[in-house]
Protein backbone atom coordinates (compact mmCIF):
# COMPACT_ATOMS: atom_id res chain seq x y z
CA UNK A 1 0.00 0.00 0.00
CA UNK A 2 1.31 3.42 -0.85
CA UNK A 3 2.19 5.72 2.01
CA UNK A 4 0.19 8.89 2.69
CA UNK A 5 0.86 11.59 0.14
CA UNK A 6 2.05 9.30 -2.63
CA UNK A 7 0.27 8.71 -5.92
CA UNK A 8 -0.44 5.40 -7.58
CA UNK A 9 1.18 4.27 -10.81
CA UNK A 10 -1.22 3.40 -13.62
CA UNK A 11 -0.61 -0.33 -13.12
CA UNK A 12 -1.61 -0.15 -9.46
CA UNK A 13 -4.43 2.26 -10.16
CA UNK A 14 -6.67 -0.45 -11.62
CA UNK A 15 -6.82 -2.08 -8.19
CA UNK A 16 -8.41 1.01 -6.66
CA UNK A 17 -9.93 3.29 -9.27
CA UNK A 18 -13.58 2.78 -10.26
CA UNK A 19 -16.14 5.02 -11.88
CA UNK A 20 -18.56 6.92 -9.62
CA UNK A 21 -18.83 4.24 -6.99
CA UNK A 22 -16.93 1.18 -5.89
CA UNK A 23 -19.92 -1.06 -5.41
CA UNK A 24 -19.59 -4.69 -6.38
CA UNK A 25 -21.10 -4.06 -9.82
CA UNK A 26 -18.72 -1.21 -10.72
CA UNK A 27 -16.49 -1.56 -13.76
CA UNK A 28 -13.16 0.03 -14.53
CA UNK A 29 -13.74 3.32 -16.25
CA UNK A 30 -11.59 6.01 -17.79
CA UNK A 31 -12.75 9.40 -16.44
CA UNK A 32 -14.31 11.58 -19.15
CA UNK A 33 -12.86 14.90 -20.30
CA UNK A 34 -14.06 18.09 -18.59
CA UNK A 35 -17.42 19.36 -19.88
CA UNK A 36 -17.31 22.43 -22.15
CA UNK A 37 -18.89 25.69 -20.99
CA UNK A 38 -21.48 25.25 -23.75
CA UNK A 39 -22.61 21.87 -24.98
CA UNK A 40 -25.26 19.17 -25.14
CA UNK A 41 -25.55 15.46 -24.40
CA UNK A 42 -27.83 12.56 -25.24
CA UNK A 43 -28.59 11.10 -21.80
CA UNK A 44 -28.67 7.42 -22.67
CA UNK A 45 -28.32 6.67 -18.96
CA UNK A 46 -31.84 8.02 -18.40
CA UNK A 47 -35.11 6.21 -19.18
CA UNK A 48 -38.79 7.19 -19.38
CA UNK A 49 -41.98 5.66 -18.03
CA UNK A 50 -45.29 6.80 -19.55
CA UNK A 51 -48.30 7.06 -17.22
CA UNK A 52 -51.67 8.31 -18.40
CA UNK A 53 -55.40 7.97 -17.81
CA UNK A 54 -58.18 9.75 -15.88
CA UNK A 55 -56.53 8.93 -12.53
CA UNK A 56 -52.90 9.54 -13.54
CA UNK A 57 -52.43 12.79 -11.62
CA UNK A 58 -54.24 11.49 -8.53
CA UNK A 59 -52.20 8.27 -8.64
CA UNK A 60 -48.85 10.10 -8.75
CA UNK A 61 -50.05 12.62 -6.17
CA UNK A 62 -50.38 9.85 -3.59
CA UNK A 63 -46.94 8.31 -4.01
CA UNK A 64 -44.58 11.21 -4.79
CA UNK A 65 -43.21 13.98 -2.60
CA UNK A 66 -44.15 16.85 -4.90
CA UNK A 67 -47.58 18.31 -5.63
CA UNK A 68 -48.78 16.87 -8.97
CA UNK A 69 -51.45 18.86 -10.79
CA UNK A 70 -53.72 17.44 -13.47
CA UNK A 71 -53.72 20.55 -15.65
CA UNK A 72 -51.86 20.32 -18.96
CA UNK A 73 -50.34 23.72 -18.13
CA UNK A 74 -48.73 22.23 -15.00
CA UNK A 75 -44.97 22.73 -14.71
CA UNK A 76 -42.27 20.08 -14.99
CA UNK A 77 -41.60 18.60 -11.56
CA UNK A 78 -38.50 17.48 -9.75
CA UNK A 79 -39.77 14.84 -7.35
CA UNK A 80 -39.02 11.59 -5.52
CA UNK A 81 -40.65 8.35 -4.51
CA UNK A 82 -40.11 7.51 -0.83
CA UNK A 83 -40.67 4.38 1.22
CA UNK A 84 -42.87 4.26 4.32
CA UNK A 85 -39.91 5.23 6.52
CA UNK A 86 -39.33 8.41 4.54
CA UNK A 87 -36.19 7.16 2.77
CA UNK A 88 -35.60 7.94 -0.89
CA UNK A 89 -36.24 5.11 -3.35
CA UNK A 90 -36.07 6.98 -6.68
CA UNK A 91 -35.37 10.61 -7.58
CA UNK A 92 -37.17 11.60 -10.77
CA UNK A 93 -38.30 14.41 -13.06
CA UNK A 94 -41.99 14.27 -14.04
CA UNK A 95 -43.15 15.81 -17.33
CA UNK A 96 -46.86 16.54 -17.96
CA UNK A 97 -47.53 15.94 -21.67
CA UNK A 98 -50.37 15.56 -24.10
CA UNK A 99 -52.03 12.15 -24.05
CA UNK A 100 -49.19 9.73 -24.88
CA UNK A 101 -51.44 7.19 -26.62
CA UNK A 102 -48.82 6.54 -29.29
CA UNK A 103 -46.75 4.65 -26.72
CA UNK A 104 -49.51 2.06 -26.18
CA UNK A 105 -50.77 -0.61 -28.58
CA UNK A 106 -54.18 -0.74 -26.89
CA UNK A 107 -55.02 2.81 -25.73
CA UNK A 108 -58.36 3.32 -23.96
CA UNK A 109 -61.30 5.10 -25.49
CA UNK A 110 -60.91 8.86 -26.03
CA UNK A 111 -63.17 9.72 -23.09
CA UNK A 112 -61.04 7.57 -20.73
CA UNK A 113 -57.60 8.83 -21.67
CA UNK A 114 -57.07 11.81 -19.37
CA UNK A 115 -53.71 13.59 -18.81
CA UNK A 116 -50.34 11.99 -19.33
CA UNK A 117 -46.95 12.10 -17.67
CA UNK A 118 -43.44 10.97 -18.57
CA UNK A 119 -41.28 9.99 -15.59
CA UNK A 120 -37.56 10.58 -16.21
CA UNK A 121 -35.47 8.19 -14.06
CA UNK A 122 -32.02 6.59 -13.95
CA UNK A 123 -31.98 3.76 -16.51
CA UNK A 124 -30.59 1.31 -13.96
CA UNK A 125 -33.65 1.93 -11.78
CA UNK A 126 -36.39 2.02 -14.40
CA UNK A 127 -37.47 -1.63 -13.98
CA UNK A 128 -37.63 -1.31 -10.20
CA UNK A 129 -39.59 1.95 -10.41
CA UNK A 130 -42.04 0.38 -12.86
CA UNK A 131 -42.62 -2.49 -10.40
CA UNK A 132 -43.05 0.06 -7.60
CA UNK A 133 -45.73 1.89 -9.59
CA UNK A 134 -47.57 -1.34 -10.38
CA UNK A 135 -47.63 -2.22 -6.69
CA UNK A 136 -49.74 0.86 -5.92
CA UNK A 137 -51.84 0.85 -9.08
CA UNK A 138 -54.72 -1.21 -7.63
CA UNK A 139 -57.99 -0.12 -9.32
CA UNK A 140 -56.90 3.26 -10.58
CA UNK A 141 -57.77 4.03 -14.20
CA UNK A 142 -54.31 4.42 -15.62
CA UNK A 143 -51.96 2.79 -18.10
CA UNK A 144 -48.20 2.70 -17.78
CA UNK A 145 -45.20 1.25 -19.56
CA UNK A 146 -41.47 1.72 -19.93
CA UNK A 147 -40.62 3.65 -23.08
CA UNK A 148 -38.03 1.85 -25.19
CA UNK A 149 -34.86 3.66 -26.24
CA UNK A 150 -35.56 5.29 -29.60
CA UNK A 151 -39.26 5.88 -28.92
CA UNK A 152 -38.55 8.93 -26.76
CA UNK A 153 -35.17 10.11 -25.50
CA UNK A 154 -33.76 12.51 -22.92
CA UNK A 155 -31.21 15.17 -23.89
CA UNK A 156 -29.69 18.10 -22.07
CA UNK A 157 -28.10 21.33 -23.28
CA UNK A 158 -26.38 24.19 -21.50
CA UNK A 159 -24.84 27.54 -22.23
CA UNK A 160 -26.48 30.56 -23.85
CA UNK A 161 -29.75 29.79 -22.04
CA UNK A 162 -30.49 33.45 -21.60
CA UNK A 163 -30.55 33.98 -25.38
CA UNK A 164 -33.75 32.77 -27.06
CA UNK A 165 -33.14 30.31 -29.87
CA UNK A 166 -33.82 32.06 -33.22
CA UNK A 167 -36.79 30.85 -35.21
CA UNK A 168 -38.33 28.80 -32.41
CA UNK A 169 -41.80 29.48 -31.14
CA UNK A 170 -41.88 30.38 -27.40
CA UNK A 171 -44.08 27.32 -26.83
CA UNK A 172 -41.08 25.26 -27.88
CA UNK A 173 -39.22 26.39 -24.79
CA UNK A 174 -41.87 25.52 -22.23
CA UNK A 175 -44.19 22.85 -23.48
CA UNK A 176 -45.33 20.51 -26.21
CA UNK A 177 -44.03 21.65 -29.59
CA UNK A 178 -44.98 20.75 -33.15
CA UNK A 179 -43.89 19.55 -35.61
CA UNK A 180 -40.71 18.49 -33.83
CA UNK A 181 -42.54 16.85 -30.90
CA UNK A 182 -40.05 18.25 -28.43
CA UNK A 183 -40.33 19.38 -24.82
CA UNK A 184 -37.62 21.82 -23.73
CA UNK A 185 -37.50 23.46 -20.30
CA UNK A 186 -35.00 24.67 -17.67
CA UNK A 187 -33.84 21.87 -15.40
CA UNK A 188 -36.32 22.06 -12.47
CA UNK A 189 -33.64 21.05 -9.97
CA UNK A 190 -31.33 23.96 -10.79
CA UNK A 191 -31.99 26.20 -13.81
CA UNK A 192 -28.30 27.12 -14.16
CA UNK A 193 -27.58 23.45 -14.83
CA UNK A 194 -29.10 23.92 -18.29
CA UNK A 195 -32.18 22.79 -20.21
CA UNK A 196 -33.66 19.32 -20.43
CA UNK A 197 -34.94 18.28 -23.85
CA UNK A 198 -37.33 15.36 -24.40
CA UNK A 199 -37.55 14.08 -27.97
CA UNK A 200 -41.03 12.58 -28.00
CA UNK A 201 -40.52 10.62 -31.22
CA UNK A 202 -36.97 9.44 -30.56
CA UNK A 203 -35.35 11.57 -33.27
CA UNK A 204 -32.44 13.85 -32.31
CA UNK A 205 -33.69 17.34 -31.40
CA UNK A 206 -33.28 19.94 -34.14
CA UNK A 207 -29.95 21.81 -33.94
CA UNK A 208 -31.76 25.07 -33.14
CA UNK A 209 -32.61 23.84 -29.64
CA UNK A 210 -29.13 22.56 -28.75
CA UNK A 211 -25.98 24.46 -27.86
CA UNK A 212 -22.31 23.72 -28.44
CA UNK A 213 -20.64 20.38 -29.17
CA UNK A 214 -22.09 17.01 -28.25
CA UNK A 215 -20.44 15.29 -25.28
CA UNK A 216 -20.95 11.98 -23.51
CA UNK A 217 -23.45 11.50 -20.65
CA UNK A 218 -20.45 10.91 -18.38
CA UNK A 219 -19.01 14.31 -19.25
CA UNK A 220 -22.35 15.91 -18.44
CA UNK A 221 -22.28 14.09 -15.09
CA UNK A 222 -19.07 15.97 -14.26
CA UNK A 223 -20.91 19.24 -14.85
CA UNK A 224 -23.73 18.03 -12.62
CA UNK A 225 -21.32 17.06 -9.84
CA UNK A 226 -19.54 20.41 -10.01
CA UNK A 227 -22.95 22.11 -9.64
CA UNK A 228 -23.73 19.93 -6.61
CA UNK A 229 -26.76 18.02 -7.99
CA UNK A 230 -26.77 14.35 -6.94
CA UNK A 231 -28.98 11.91 -8.83
CA UNK A 232 -29.59 8.20 -9.25
CA UNK A 233 -29.00 5.24 -6.98
CA UNK A 234 -25.22 5.55 -6.97
CA UNK A 235 -25.36 8.97 -5.32
CA UNK A 236 -28.77 8.90 -3.60
CA UNK A 237 -28.63 5.39 -2.14
CA UNK A 238 -32.10 3.76 -2.35
CA UNK A 239 -33.70 2.90 0.97
CA UNK A 240 -30.96 4.68 2.94
CA UNK A 241 -30.80 8.32 1.84
CA UNK A 242 -33.09 10.88 3.50
CA UNK A 243 -34.72 13.51 1.26
CA UNK A 244 -33.30 16.53 3.06
CA UNK A 245 -29.83 15.01 3.38
CA UNK A 246 -29.97 14.42 -0.41
CA UNK A 247 -30.89 18.12 -0.97
CA UNK A 248 -34.29 17.24 -2.45
CA UNK A 249 -35.77 20.07 -0.42
CA UNK A 250 -33.29 22.44 -2.11
CA UNK A 251 -34.08 21.16 -5.63
CA UNK A 252 -37.84 21.73 -5.24
CA UNK A 253 -38.58 17.98 -5.19
CA UNK A 254 -40.67 18.20 -2.01
CA UNK A 255 -43.84 20.20 -1.38
CA UNK A 256 -44.04 20.65 2.40
CA UNK A 257 -47.62 21.94 2.16
CA UNK A 258 -48.78 18.69 0.61
CA UNK A 259 -50.34 15.91 2.68
CA UNK A 260 -51.04 12.21 2.38
CA UNK A 261 -48.23 10.63 0.42
CA UNK A 262 -45.96 7.69 1.19
CA UNK A 263 -43.10 8.76 3.47
CA UNK A 264 -44.67 12.08 4.39
CA UNK A 265 -44.64 11.81 8.19
CA UNK A 266 -40.87 11.71 8.78
CA UNK A 267 -40.19 14.18 5.97
CA UNK A 268 -42.58 16.80 7.33
CA UNK A 269 -41.51 16.27 10.94
CA UNK A 270 -37.86 16.78 10.03
CA UNK A 271 -38.73 19.92 8.11
CA UNK A 272 -40.70 21.53 10.93
CA UNK A 273 -38.89 20.34 14.06
CA UNK A 274 -35.48 18.98 13.09
CA UNK A 275 -32.12 20.30 11.98
CA UNK A 276 -30.52 18.76 8.91
CA UNK A 277 -26.97 18.27 10.15
CA UNK A 278 -25.67 16.25 7.19
CA UNK A 279 -26.05 16.87 3.47
CA UNK A 280 -24.66 15.49 0.23
CA UNK A 281 -22.04 17.99 -0.90
CA UNK A 282 -19.68 18.07 -3.87
CA UNK A 283 -16.15 17.31 -2.74
CA UNK A 284 -12.68 17.31 -4.26
CA UNK A 285 -9.98 14.79 -3.49
CA UNK A 286 -6.35 15.89 -3.20
CA UNK A 287 -3.11 14.29 -2.10
CA UNK A 288 -1.94 14.30 1.51
CA UNK A 289 1.35 15.70 0.22
CA UNK A 290 -0.34 19.00 -0.65
CA UNK A 291 0.11 21.50 2.15
CA UNK A 292 -3.22 23.31 1.76
CA UNK A 293 -6.67 22.20 0.59
CA UNK A 294 -7.89 23.56 -2.76
CA UNK A 295 -9.75 26.87 -2.62
CA UNK A 296 -11.83 26.21 -5.74
CA UNK A 297 -13.35 22.95 -6.93
CA UNK A 298 -11.68 21.76 -10.15
CA UNK A 299 -12.04 18.48 -11.99
CA UNK A 300 -8.88 16.64 -13.05
CA UNK A 301 -9.53 13.67 -15.37
CA UNK A 302 -5.88 12.62 -15.09
CA UNK A 303 -5.94 12.30 -11.32
CA UNK A 304 -4.27 9.12 -10.06
CA UNK A 305 -5.54 9.37 -6.49
CA UNK A 306 -7.02 6.17 -5.08
CA UNK A 307 -10.84 6.25 -5.33
CA UNK A 308 -12.31 5.19 -1.99
CA UNK A 309 -14.98 2.49 -1.73
CA UNK A 310 -18.51 3.75 -1.16
CA UNK A 311 -19.38 4.30 2.49
CA UNK A 312 -15.86 4.92 3.78
CA UNK A 313 -15.57 7.26 6.73
CA UNK A 314 -14.21 10.79 6.40
CA UNK A 315 -12.31 11.96 9.47
CA UNK A 316 -10.27 14.89 10.66
CA UNK A 317 -6.56 14.56 9.97
CA UNK A 318 -5.33 16.13 13.19
CA UNK A 319 -7.82 14.86 15.76
CA UNK A 320 -9.66 11.67 16.62
CA UNK A 321 -13.34 11.30 17.29
CA UNK A 322 -16.54 10.65 15.44
CA UNK A 323 -16.62 10.70 11.67
CA UNK A 324 -17.04 13.99 9.83
CA UNK A 325 -18.78 12.39 6.88
CA UNK A 326 -19.10 9.46 4.52
CA UNK A 327 -17.74 9.08 0.99
CA UNK A 328 -20.52 8.26 -1.50
CA UNK A 329 -19.39 8.33 -5.15
CA UNK A 330 -16.99 10.08 -7.48
CA UNK A 331 -15.28 10.45 -10.84
CA UNK A 332 -11.60 11.33 -11.15
CA UNK A 333 -10.88 13.68 -8.27
CA UNK A 334 -14.45 14.94 -7.63
CA UNK A 335 -17.59 13.39 -6.23
CA UNK A 336 -20.17 13.49 -3.47
CA UNK A 337 -19.89 12.89 0.25
CA UNK A 338 -22.46 12.96 3.03
CA UNK A 339 -20.94 15.70 5.17
CA UNK A 340 -21.56 16.94 8.68
CA UNK A 341 -22.10 20.57 7.78
CA UNK A 342 -20.74 22.21 10.91
CA UNK A 343 -17.69 19.94 10.93
CA UNK A 344 -16.62 20.02 7.27
CA UNK A 345 -17.87 23.47 6.16
CA UNK A 346 -18.39 27.00 7.42
CA UNK A 347 -22.18 26.50 7.63
CA UNK A 348 -23.57 27.18 11.10
CA UNK A 349 -26.65 25.34 12.29
CA UNK A 350 -26.30 26.25 15.97
CA UNK A 351 -24.93 29.33 17.71
CA UNK A 352 -21.87 27.46 19.00
CA UNK A 353 -20.95 26.00 15.59
CA UNK A 354 -19.05 22.79 14.98
CA UNK A 355 -15.38 23.63 15.29
CA UNK A 356 -14.62 24.08 11.60
CA UNK A 357 -11.76 26.40 10.66
CA UNK A 358 -10.31 27.39 7.25
CA UNK A 359 -7.28 25.17 7.87
CA UNK A 360 -9.26 22.04 8.72
CA UNK A 361 -8.25 18.98 6.73
CA UNK A 362 -10.07 15.68 6.35
CA UNK A 363 -9.02 12.24 5.21
CA UNK A 364 -10.74 9.13 3.92
CA UNK A 365 -10.19 6.22 6.28
CA UNK A 366 -10.33 2.55 5.39
CA UNK A 367 -12.27 1.68 8.53
CA UNK A 368 -16.05 1.45 8.07
CA UNK A 369 -18.62 0.85 10.78
CA UNK A 370 -22.03 -0.69 10.16
CA UNK A 371 -23.85 2.60 10.40
CA UNK A 372 -21.64 4.56 8.02
CA UNK A 373 -20.60 7.06 10.73
CA UNK A 374 -18.19 6.16 13.52
CA UNK A 375 -18.66 7.83 16.88
CA UNK A 376 -15.91 6.06 18.81
CA UNK A 377 -12.24 6.92 18.78
CA UNK A 378 -10.69 6.55 15.33
CA UNK A 379 -7.35 5.26 14.15
CA UNK A 380 -4.75 6.32 11.62
CA UNK A 381 -4.58 2.71 10.43
CA UNK A 382 -5.69 2.37 6.83
CA UNK A 383 -5.25 6.02 5.79
CA UNK A 384 -5.52 6.05 1.98
CA UNK A 385 -3.30 9.11 1.67
CA UNK A 386 -6.24 11.02 0.23
CA UNK A 387 -7.65 14.26 1.59
CA UNK A 388 -11.18 15.58 1.06
CA UNK A 389 -12.37 19.17 0.67
CA UNK A 390 -16.14 19.79 0.81
CA UNK A 391 -17.65 22.73 -1.09
CA UNK A 392 -20.99 24.36 -0.34
CA UNK A 393 -22.57 25.49 -3.64
CA UNK A 394 -23.65 29.11 -3.68
CA UNK A 395 -27.21 28.10 -4.50
CA UNK A 396 -27.26 26.12 -1.22
CA UNK A 397 -26.40 29.24 0.72
CA UNK A 398 -29.36 31.08 -0.76
CA UNK A 399 -31.87 28.67 0.78
CA UNK A 400 -33.71 29.80 3.91
CA UNK A 401 -33.25 27.30 6.73
CA UNK A 402 -32.47 26.87 10.39
CA UNK A 403 -29.07 28.50 9.94
CA UNK A 404 -30.72 31.67 8.62
CA UNK A 405 -33.29 31.77 11.41
CA UNK A 406 -30.60 31.37 14.04
CA UNK A 407 -28.51 34.12 12.51
CA UNK A 408 -31.54 36.42 12.60
CA UNK A 409 -32.02 35.70 16.31
CA UNK A 410 -28.43 36.52 17.25
175 vs 45: CA distance, rounded Å: 23
pLDDT higher than 70, residue 383: no
Mean pLDDT is lowest, of 89-103, 143-157, 279-293, for: 89-103
Look at residue 10 and give its three-state secondary structure: helix
% of the chain beyond a pLDDT of 70: 75
CA distance 160 to 38: 7
Residues 6+ apart with CB under 8 A from 148: none
Mean pLDDT of the chain: 80
What's the pLDDT tens digit per position in 146-175?
999 888 999 999 996 544 443 333 334 344
Question: What is the mean pLDDT of the segment spanning 178-195?
Answer: 84
Model confidence over 38-96: pLDDT tens digits? 999 999 999 999 998 889 999 999 999 999 987 656 689 999 999 999 999 999 999 98
Q: Which pLDDT does position 29 carry in this prediction? A: 62
Highest mean pLDDT among 15-29, 237-251, 256-270, 370-384: 237-251
What's the residue count for the chain? 410
pLDDT at 196 > cutoff 90: yes
Q: What is the pLDDT of residue 207?
A: 86
CB under 8 Å to 102, separation ≥6 — which residues? none
**pLDDT computed for residue 114 by the predictor:** 64
Tell me: pLDDT of 110 over 80: no
Half-sphere exposure at residue 393, Cβ-oriented, CA atoms within 13 angstroms:
22
- Residue-level pLDDT at 1: 39
Mean pLDDT on 396-410: 51
For 302-311, the pLDDT digits (tens) are 988 877 788 8
Answer with the residue of higher pLDDT: 146 or 365.
Answer: 146
- How far apart (Å, rounded) are the C-alpha atoms in residues 332 and 30? 9
What DSSP character marks residue 404? H
Split at pLDDT 50, 70, 90, the class of 106 is low
The pLDDT assigned to 71 comes to 65
- Per-residue pLDDT, 4: 42
- How large a percentage of the chain has pLDDT more than 90? 49
**Alpha-carbon span 113 to 53, nearest angstrom:** 5
pLDDT at position 386 is 87
Amino acid sequence: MSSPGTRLCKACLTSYRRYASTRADSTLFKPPPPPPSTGHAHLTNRALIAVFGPDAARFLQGITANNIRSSQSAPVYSSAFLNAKGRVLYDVIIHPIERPVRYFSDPPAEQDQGPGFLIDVDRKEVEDLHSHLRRYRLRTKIKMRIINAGEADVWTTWGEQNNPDPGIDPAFETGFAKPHRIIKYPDPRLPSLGHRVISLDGDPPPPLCLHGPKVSPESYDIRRILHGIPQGGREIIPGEALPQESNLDYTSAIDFRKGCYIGQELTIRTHHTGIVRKRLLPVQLYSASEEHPPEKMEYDPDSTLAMAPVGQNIERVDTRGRSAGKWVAGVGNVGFALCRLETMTDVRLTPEGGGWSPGSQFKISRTLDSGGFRDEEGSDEGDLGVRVKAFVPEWHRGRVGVRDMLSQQE
